[in-house]
Amino acid sequence: MGLLGVLKAGGAYLPLEPQYPMARLSFMLEDAGVRVLLTQEHLLDSLPSHWSQVICLDTDWESIAQQSELNPQSNVSADNLAYVMYTSGSTGTPKGVSVVHRNVVRLVKETGYADFGPGETFLQFAPISFDASTFEIWGSLLNGAKLVLMPPGTPSLDELGDALGRYEITTLWLTAGLFHLMVDEQPESLRGVRHLLAGGDALSVAHVKRMLERLSDGRRLINGYGPTEGTTFTCCHVMDRNSGLDTSVPIGWPIANTQVYVLDEQMQPVPTGVAGELYIGGDGLARCYLNRPELTAEKFTPHPYSNALGARLYRTGDSVRRKADDTIEFLGRLDQQVKIRGFRIEPGEIETALASHGAVKESIVLARSADGPGEKRLAAYVVLKQSNSLTAENLRAFLKDRLPEYMVPSAVIVLDEMPLTRNGKVDRRALSSPEQAQAGAFKTFVAPRTPIEEVLAGLWSEVLNVKRVGADADFFDLGGHSLLATQLVSRAREIFHADVALRELFEHPTVAGFAAAIEEAQRAGQPFEAAPPIRQVPREGLLPLSFAQQRLWFLDQLMPGSTFYNISAAIRLSGQLNFAALQDALSEMVRRHEILRTTFAFAEGGPAQVIHPPQQLPLPVFDLSELEADEREARVLHMAKEEAQYSFDLAKGPLLRTSLLRLGESEHVLLVTMHHIISDGWSIGVMVREVSTLYPAFVDGRSSPLTELAVQYADFASWQNAWLSREVLERELSYWKHQLANVPAMLDLPTDRPRSKMTAHRGSSESFVLSEALSGSLKELSLREGTTLFMTLLAAWQVLLARYAGQEDVCVGTPIANRNRVETESLIGFFVNTLVLRVKLQGNLSFTELLKQVREVCLGAYAHQDVPFEKLVEELQPERSLHHSPLFQVMFALQNAPMQPLQLSGLNLSMVQVPLSSAKFDLLLAIQESEDGLSATLDYDTDLFDSHTIQRLTRHYVRLLKGIVANPSQRLSTLPLLSDDERQHLLLECNDTATPYPRQDCLHH
């Protein structure tokens, strides 16, 4: 009673291998509920104890002969279980894939990738427990073909080649590893195979090309791809001697009765060329994981694009992308993706680049542990062709010309051959062993070689918060961005007294390269006019306001009692709170920073700062613990919103308020509100850092571990008023006058309602996420084009605004920390400035061309960031109106100010989200980096826009970004915005000439 008998009887079979570990065999027998076990006498000792009926096919002939010779009556349908095949599980527990008859028939009958018939001879080369055996056994039996069984054991390449010729094998499946070996050692033995299939791992382009050259007419090489859950093959790429190849071998198209989708994290289709996860559906999809309903529910998801009852998709965990010819390119396993210095990296892409080198035979790239805890570096394992003197450093140099620096492996380890598993796949565990790691150390550390390099390495380490920096360390590769670059350059100028521009760091981002730029500036002998240091000024007499404070004070005089510039936060504290330590920590912070106990008086014809003596900060407690849970949470939100909307009196103060809501013994919410005139976003990071240090010290009864501040915000305000004299200001203003000459009065975006004569600043917000894959692609594009992530996101935002407004001249405002002096980095206060970034999109630019323009605009603005926005408006005198802000109406911000995690000893802290009720601008797009990608919030003026309009705008922004990373060389006019449904809506409904007036929703498109 063999497989056919089992299947005719309506049963299912479980393929087992005697080489399995005893525990694995025992688990599978128990899990599958095996009733009859077919084996041989000499294998009995290899089996665990079990309750199945055992039949030895070589000795139990009498029992077998007693069975009926008649075919059993069969009521088997296409949806009955055919077999259960166990695969490795991520937790170490095997998972049983339940395959039904329909799945197998779809694999080998009218397949779309080959035409099998009685004239074929298949070789069963794969172990029966490997799903390739499904193709071999049933491909032959269900097509009336011949099946040749390879003798047990592991044959040599010579034996395999001999079998192919002796039995005239016409259909053969090989793992990628064995295919590569056969092409190298026995290529002639493959010439007679009509259907040569290979897969299981990525195929080497070089090996495929060599095989294609040897193929006779009518012979085909097929790259077969598919998980066990898809029944052996999901996609196939058929090639003959006339097929051309690029830098990788595609996995092709889905076979017959199979559907595939390339989707993002929200299961939305991604554009051509953009990486996504491969989902598969159709008649090849297995039923489930046996006895694993939770895992089945996780991996077999409802089909969002099918109306068929019960239709499902299987998420493969494989990263792929569609090519321009609609074939699918395999990039690697998603669970093999690694994150290094914030970048998601597909090792498969590096392997593809290595394979394009003529001397490389095979390669595998892995992430390996590095120096620090949690740190990783890339290691490449390479097998070279014979008689080749290529070195690891040669290969690294080769990759540097083809990949971003962060994708170049730190170690390249040359092996004689790849270790293989018994199924012929590369044994990655063997590559990951300590012995293999010792065979090739990571890239040699290049120590700084000159005094300038040594100092710069120290600055790199300090600014980027990394421990070990070599001469070849790349600033942006280590996580640097524009804000940190400004800090580093300002420090370098002061130390070396060299007039080195921010632009030099972008063009020479390594320690050695930037050191050479500094040496060149010193040799040029150009005078360096450093701003004077910030010094303490006497506290007697009047203390001036900074330029930014002057504007807020003036606006407060126009609209007294306005809450427009309130900064508020609600922080949930879970755990045992030490109230006295918290109050003391907040009070000590107020003592340290004079600005937190400053008010603003009118004296001698103008405003002046008044600094009050330190005292205990009031921290009133409101007990809500007696309320029911729902009512309590509602009360928290109400009180937080009410507190945020309570106005300040700038003359009387205080301008910092705190209160504590008690929700229970171990649950509190801290409310903090400040006026913007004494704080900004960077300041919040300083406050978090200081309270996180002070609180545990006071809990333990220790004194403050923080060092006293050298200067205060009042000293900065006095310095700014003295330094930005008319001469300096005129020199800086000349740049802005040229940059903003004839600037448009406003960005005329289509709105849901006309503007009122005076804006009420009522607002709301819409949050969305840029996926991890998209975020990684944007970072990669930025590095490749020599820009920052901020510049790339900004350029896309300006493209979207231009398309919406129908304008080619677009101005966007952006906040900048303005902390370009060492003395100001640890201060709380209102330092932030606003820059106007203007781009012109004439001439049908490509996105990469626009990106170059945006880079120049940003670098120019950073170089002249000291001019306060208030002075800029005063000098340029743009058209003023109460219904829109001057120079720009839309803001963009990438939140990357230093901010350590919000944490206090013994407490879990989290932010309470309080709904936004005001908007300073028409639109403000704020993006923040997180572990899961980029999170974004779009604030908008609700007097101008409806929520559905803003939701559509955010969808268009995401679609635009996906189109950009897919093809950054596209012309701006061709970048995708609309979905298929929106395009259909525009073409049919909005062009309906029977309607005399256009519909409002059509205007927005």
**Which of 25-39, 585-599, 882-896 is least confident?**
882-896
* 917 pLDDT tier (thresholds 50, 70, 90): low
Asked if pLDDT for residue 899 goes beyond 80, the answer is: no
Q: Tens digits of per-residue pLDDT, 755-810?
A: 876 666 788 899 998 988 788 888 878 877 878 888 899 999 999 999 999 999 99
Q: How many residues does the chain have?
A: 1005
Question: For the residues 456-471, what does the mean pLDDT come to?
Answer: 78
Query: Can you list the positions of beta strands (E) in 299-386?
Result: 300-302, 312-322, 328-333, 338-340, 343-345, 360-369, 376-384
Element (H, E) at 925: strand 923-930
In angstroms, rounded to a whole number, what is the distance separating the alpha carbons of residues 550 and 547? 5
pLDDT of residue 699: 93
Please give the pLDDT value at position 47.
85
Of 197, 187, 200, 192, the residue nearest 167 (C-alpha): 192
Phi, psi of 683 (to 5 degrees): -60, -35
Distance of CA 503 to the CA centre of its chain: 27
Q: What are phi and psi of 144, to 5 degrees?
A: 70, 20
pLDDT at 955: 93
pLDDT of residue 341: 57
CA 560 from centroid of its chain's CA atoms: 45
Instruction: Tell me the average pLDDT across 2-22.
Output: 68
Greater pLDDT, 463 or 380: 380
In this predicted structure, the answer to whether residue 735 has a pLDDT above a threshold of 80 is: yes
Tell me the average pLDDT of the chain: 84
860 in Cβ contact with 791 (< 8 Å) = no
Is residue 44 pLDDT above 70, yes or no?
A: yes
pLDDT for position 424? 67
Cβ pair 685, 900 in contact under 8 A: yes
Out of 334-348, 587-601, 689-703, least confident range: 334-348
Crossing angle of helices 772-785 and 847-863, in 10° steps, is 70
Asked whether residue 19 carries a pLDDT value surpassing 80, the answer given is no
Task: Work out the average pLDDT over 967-979.
Answer: 86
pLDDT at 543: 94
Tokens representing 48 are 């665990």
The pLDDT of residue 827 is 95
Question: In the prediction, which pLDDT does 995 show?
Answer: 37
Q: What is the pLDDT of residues 480-516, one digit of tens each?
A: 777 788 778 878 877 777 778 888 888 888 888 888 8
Query: In the chain, what are the helix, strand and coil shares in percent, each to the nearest 5?
Result: 35, 25, 40
* pTM of this prediction exceeds 0.75: no
Residue 434 amino acid letter = P
Sign of CA dihedral 690, 694, 695, 697: positive
pLDDT at 850 over 70: yes
Output DSSP code: residue 424.
S
Question: Could you give the CA distance from residue 968 to residue 703 in angstroms, rounded to a whole number?
Answer: 56
Q: What is the pLDDT of residues 118-132, one digit of tens each?
A: 999 999 998 888 889
Provide the β-strand partners of residue 710. Answer: none
Highest mean pLDDT among 194-198, 213-217, 605-609: 194-198
Q: Taking 50 as the threshold, does the pLDDT of residue 444 lie above it?
A: no
Counting residues of the chain whose pLDDT is more than 90, the rounded percentage is: 40
Q: Does 654 sit behind a cis peptide bond, omega within 30 degrees of 0 on the bond before it?
A: yes
Distances (CA, A) of 188 to 193, 421, 706, 880: 10, 25, 76, 82
Please state which of the ranges 108-112, 517-521, 593-597 shows the lowest mean pLDDT: 517-521
Beta-carbon contacts of residue 241 (< 8 Å; ≥ 6 apart) = 212, 213, 215, 216, 217, 219
Sorted by sequence, the CB contacts under 8 Å of residue 593 that are 6+ apart come out as: 709, 712, 713, 827, 828, 829
Which distant-in-sequence residues (6+ apart) come within 8 Å of 86 by Cβ? 14, 24, 28, 94, 95, 96, 97, 129
Task: Tell me what pLDDT residue 344 has.
Answer: 59
| pLDDT for 3 | 64
